[in-house]
């Protein structure tokens, strides 16, 4: 079969690789109709995550079941399904308690496994024609419709991007009337804005520096803030102050700020004074200023515990200077980490089917698998309007 193979940092090729086979009686073999490129794939592509070792990458699949193991109960040949990025067994203590991303079975000796992800179990990635899915009953989410229909791009985002975005709103308990500030207008940041509005947020600000991304944020109803046009935190606080004048908010000046702040960028944040320079603490520094007293802060942008290519020694070891004093004084609640995607994907599926959310609005390109190398180059450069890319095997 054909697959996208990382051959070295910043180089992928389309190669013929061995087709996966059923290895256990609980396995499923999935023929893919779509597979997406994620921002995390770029961390691997750049050699920041895993060092650029040769591997089939990708972790956002959608397709049709082609073969099933003899012990499958709930999944049948011909079913249209997606599967979570994080591979779960369904029966270990963490899975039983809903912590699917920290499964204790699928990556022995560690907590958590994933497709096409260094250090997470060695599973072949999903940017290919076929994918082996372990523990098929636990992992496969059945879907209506058929390949190529109007839900194709919505459903492929159920593997990772949409549950991750919803996880951000769960960590921060977004509710009616919230003012939400999101740093990052990539796929996750844009989908987080969608989820925040679905949960009743009154206003959403999205901060980025890429014009096409900011335009998309505006199309979704958010207030786009270009970080290159001046101090983003100051501008947001100034706008909130202008909007909260008059007798209704008399005496509330000390409470100014956003009730919810979300970091959807992570360790590759940029220095607002020189966008070419990486500065991982940019976002947390700004959000500590923006968040209101007793506000909620969610961190879903990836941070690494080992990053030899980072600019400074502390960051190479996953250590960052955080404004804990400011956050403590404000009494901010903080949540972070990988999403337990299986916890959310069924009701997000139903929200898509019922028209409550339209995640495919952020898909910018659908390309054949053979164009993956060019897609990675442009996506990595954030050029030509590449926001979210779906490949067709």
Residue 314 belongs to a domain: yes
Q: Domain check: are 283 and 178 in the same one?
A: yes
> Strand order of the sheet with strand 179-183?
223-226, 203-208, 179-183, 258-263, 291-299, 333-336
Q: Is the pLDDT of residue 52 over 90?
A: no
Residue 294 belongs to a domain: yes
Residue 344 belongs to a domain: no
pLDDT digits (tens, 9 = 90+) for 65-102: 999 999 999 999 999 999 999 999 999 999 999 999 99
Domain with 386 in it = 2-157+363-392
pLDDT digits (tens, 9 = 90+) for 228-264: 999 999 999 999 999 988 888 888 888 889 999 999 9
**Tokens for 314?**
């502390």
Q: Alpha carbon of 381 to those of 51, 303, 316, 325: distances in Å?
A: 19, 20, 23, 36
Q: Which of 148, 133, 154, 101 is nearest to 29 (CA)?
A: 133
pLDDT digits (tens, 9 = 90+) for 170-212: 999 999 999 999 999 999 999 999 999 999 999 999 999 999 9
Q: Domain check: are 184 and 319 in the same one?
A: yes
Residue 69 belongs to a domain: yes
**pLDDT for the residue 86:** 97
Q: Domain check: are 7 and 147 in the same one?
A: yes
Q: Domain check: are 152 and 171 in the same one?
A: no
Q: Alpha carbon of 330 to those of 129, 169, 232: distances in Å?
A: 50, 20, 20
CB 14 within 8 A of CB 4: yes
Q: What CATH number has the domain bearing residue 331? A: 3.40.50.720
Using N-to-C axis directions, what is the helix angle for 187-198 and 211-219, rounded to 10°?
20
Rounded Cα–Cα distance for residues 345 and 366 (Å): 22
Residue 90 belongs to a domain: yes
pLDDT digits (tens, 9 = 90+) for 141-160: 999 999 999 999 999 999 99
Cβ-based neighbour number of residue 251 at 10 Å: 7
State the average pLDDT for the chain: 95
Residue 343 belongs to a domain: no
Residue 349 belongs to a domain: no
Specify the pTM. 0.96
Q: Is the pLDDT of residue 311 over 90?
A: no
Kind of pairing between the strands at 274-278 and 80-82: unpaired
**Tokens for 145?**
């419709």
Q: What CATH number has the domain bearing residue 56? A: 3.90.180.10
Residue 353 belongs to a domain: no
Model confidence band, residue 371 (pLDDT cutoffs 50, 70, 90): very high
Q: Domain check: are 217 and 150 in the same one?
A: no
Q: Domain check: are 37 and 153 in the same one?
A: yes
**pLDDT for the residue 188:** 97
**pLDDT for the residue 227:** 93
Q: Domain check: are 23 and 133 in the same one?
A: yes
Return the percentage of the chain with pLDDT > 70, whole number: 100
CB 215 within 8 A of CB 191: no
Q: Domain check: are 147 and 169 in the same one?
A: no
Q: Measure the CA dihedral 124/132/65/16, to 10°.
A: 50
Q: Domain check: are 109 and 134 in the same one?
A: yes
**pLDDT for the residue 291:** 98
Q: Domain check: are 153 and 232 in the same one?
A: no
Q: Which of 87, 73, 83 is nearest to 32 (CA)?
A: 83
């Amino acid at each position: 079969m054909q697959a996208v193979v990382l051959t070295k940092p910043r180089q992928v090729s389309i190669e013929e690789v061995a087709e996966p086979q059923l290895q256990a009686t609980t396995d499923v073999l999935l023929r893919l109709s779509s597979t997406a490129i994620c921002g995390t794939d770029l961390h691997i592509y750049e050699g920041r995550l895993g060092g650029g070792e040769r591997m089939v990458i990708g972790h956002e699949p959608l397709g049709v079941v082609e073969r099933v193991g003899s012990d499958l109960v709930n999944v049948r040949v011909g079913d249209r399904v997606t599967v979570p990025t994080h591979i779960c067994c369904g029966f270990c203590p963490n899975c039983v308690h809903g912590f699917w991303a920290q499964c204790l079975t699928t990556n022995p000796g560690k907590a958590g496994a994933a497709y096409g992800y260094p250090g997470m179990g060695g599973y072949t990635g999903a940017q290919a024609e076929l994918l082996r899915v372990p523990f098929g009953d636990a992992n496969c989410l059945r879907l209506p419709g058929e390949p190529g229909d109007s839900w194709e791009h919505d459903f492929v985002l159920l593997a990772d991007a949409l549950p991750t975005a919803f996880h951000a709103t769960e960590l921060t308990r977004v509710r009616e009337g919230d003012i939400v500030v999101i740093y990052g207008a990539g796929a996750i940041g844009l989908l987080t804005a969608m989820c925040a509005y679905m949960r009743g947020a009154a206003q959403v600000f999205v901060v980025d520096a890429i014009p096409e991304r900011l335009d998309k944020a505006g199309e979704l109803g958010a207030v786009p803030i270009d970080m290159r046009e001046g101090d983003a935190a100051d501008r947001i606080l100034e706008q909130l102050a202008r909007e909260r004048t008059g007798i209704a908010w008399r005496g509330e000046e000390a409470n100014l700020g956003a009730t919810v702040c979300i970091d959807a960028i992570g360790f590759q944040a940029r220095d607002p004074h020189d966008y070419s320079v990486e500065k991982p603490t940019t976002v947390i520094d700004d959000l500590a200023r923006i968040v209101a007293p007793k506000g909620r802060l969610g961190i879903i942008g990836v941070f690494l515990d080992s990053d030899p290519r980072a600019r400074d020694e502390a960051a190479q070891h996953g250590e960052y200077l955080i404004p804990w004093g400011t956050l403590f004084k404000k009494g901010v609640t903080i949540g972070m980490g990988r999403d337990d995607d299986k916890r959310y994907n069924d009701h997000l599926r139903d929200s898509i089917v019922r028209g409550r959310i339209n995640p495919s609005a952020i898909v910018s390109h659908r390309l054949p698998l053979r164009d993956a190398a060019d897609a990675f180059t442009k996506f990595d450069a954030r050029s030509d309007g590449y926001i979210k890319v779906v490949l067709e095997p």
